[in-house]
């Protein structure tokens, strides 16, 4: 049997970043928090917190906190809770910037969103660190269900001046190798995937790394490079390198045990996706 007061202490430490802040939140002394964590670590047989600052949890600690969050969500169906229930979700940045954010009002919860590439967001669910995820991967994680949402369409965009300078003969293989791209981060394969679909060859692309959706679109609008931009974020004054789109399918992955508790959120996600994504 897990020690749930100790798990609550662990959760607050990781949420607030210190033992002192967790003690204040829970209305106990810092020494009481330290004792709870010491007892929990002894029971688990391993260190759970890197003392920081800020205090950070190990992988095991994150899984324990996720378990506590799931228990609280299930208990929420049976009786009102004395504090807001936390829900951790993994979502890709472009979904958050375009269509996903309004759905969070479907349930009266506190949300902790993990941002990751749509090709990798499902990994957080597999590792037990979130309860649900928006992902481009259709295969379900064991113990989870998957709902197809639709396709997010991307187009390769740049300013007309950038296209005239770097692509006078169109997006040829040589031009794509030479022209700077705008890339979200090291996990972002959208530009390479589109270039391969266009040329039939896997190309090495160089460019700027700008890990924020709005700043990414702004960098393209400023003429720093070309990049794959969701339809909903294309700004006036940009032009496509080619009419060839890149469609990314999106799926809602959710832990099966939490489906009833999160049914209103799932319904809101499906409704919003049907309105904003391509079928």
Quickly name the fold that domain 86-151+250-276 has.
D-Maltodextrin-Binding Protein; domain 2 (3.40.190)
The band of 165, judged by pLDDT with boundaries at 50, 70 and 90, is: very high
Lowest-pLDDT choice from 51-55, 153-157, 173-177, 258-262: 51-55
Predicted local confidence at residue 74, as pLDDT: 84
CATH architecture of 152-244: 3-Layer(aba) Sandwich (3.40)
CATH 1.10.10.10 fits 4-57, yes or no: yes
Indicate whether 62 pLDDT > 90: no
The band of 82, judged by pLDDT with boundaries at 50, 70 and 90, is: low
Indicate whether 262 pLDDT > 70: yes
CB 226 within 8 A of CB 179: yes
Q: How high is the mean pLDDT of the chain? A: 93
Alpha carbon 150 to chain centroid, angstroms: 17
What does the pLDDT look like over 203-232, one tens digit per residue? 999 999 999 999 999 999 999 999 999 999
Q: Taking the model in full, what pTM does it have? A: 0.84
CB 44 within 8 A of CB 35: no
Q: How many CB atoms lie within 10 A of CB 197?
A: 12
Question: Where do the DSSP E strands lie in 35-135?
Answer: 49-50, 56-57, 86-91, 110-115, 132-135
What does the pLDDT look like over 3-16, one tens digit per residue? 889 998 998 898 88
Domain range annotation of the chain: 4-57, 86-151+250-276, 152-244
The band of 54, judged by pLDDT with boundaries at 50, 70 and 90, is: confident
Predicted local confidence at residue 81, as pLDDT: 67
Predicted local confidence at residue 278, as pLDDT: 98
Predicted local confidence at residue 75, as pLDDT: 84
Asked whether this chain's domains 4-57 and 152-244 adopt the same fold, the reply is: no
Name the H helices within 160-259. Answer: 160-166, 173-178, 190-199, 213-221
């Amino acid at each position: 049997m897990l020690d749930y007061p100790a798990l609550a202490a662990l959760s607050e430490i990781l949420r607030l970043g210190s033992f002192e802040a967790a003690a204040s939140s829970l209305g106990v002394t810092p020494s009481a928090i330290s004792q709870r964590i010491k007892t929990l670590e002894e029971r688990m047989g391993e260190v759970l917190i890197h003392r920081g600052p800020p205090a950070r949890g190990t992988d095991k600690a994150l899984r324990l906190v996720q378990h506590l969050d799931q228990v609280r969500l299930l208990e929420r169906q049976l009786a009102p809770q004395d504090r807001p229930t936390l829900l951790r979700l993994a979502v890709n940045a472009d979904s958050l910037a375009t269509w996903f954010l309004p759905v969070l009002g479907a349930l009266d919860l506190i949300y902790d969103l993990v941002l990751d590439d749509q090709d990798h967001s499902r990994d957080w669910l597999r590792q037990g660190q979130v309860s649900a995820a928006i992902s481009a991967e259709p295969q379900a994680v064991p113990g989870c269900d998957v709902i197809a949402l639709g396709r997010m369409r991307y187009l390769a965009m740049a300013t007309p001046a950038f296209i005239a300078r770097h692509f006078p003969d169109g997006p040829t293989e040589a031009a794509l190798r030479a022209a700077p791209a705008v890339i979200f981060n090291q996990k972002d394969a959208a530009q390479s995937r589109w270039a391969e679909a266009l040329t039939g060859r896997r190309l090495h692309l160089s460019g700027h790394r700008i890990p924020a959706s709005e700043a990414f679109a702004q960098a393209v609008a400023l003429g720093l490079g070309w990049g794959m931009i969701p339809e909903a974020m294309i700004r006036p004054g940009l032009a496509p390198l080619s009419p060839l789109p890149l469609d990314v399918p999106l799926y809602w992955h959710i832990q099966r045990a939490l489906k009833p508790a999160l049914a209103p959120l799932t319904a809101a996600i499906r409704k919003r996706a049907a309105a904003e994504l391509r079928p």
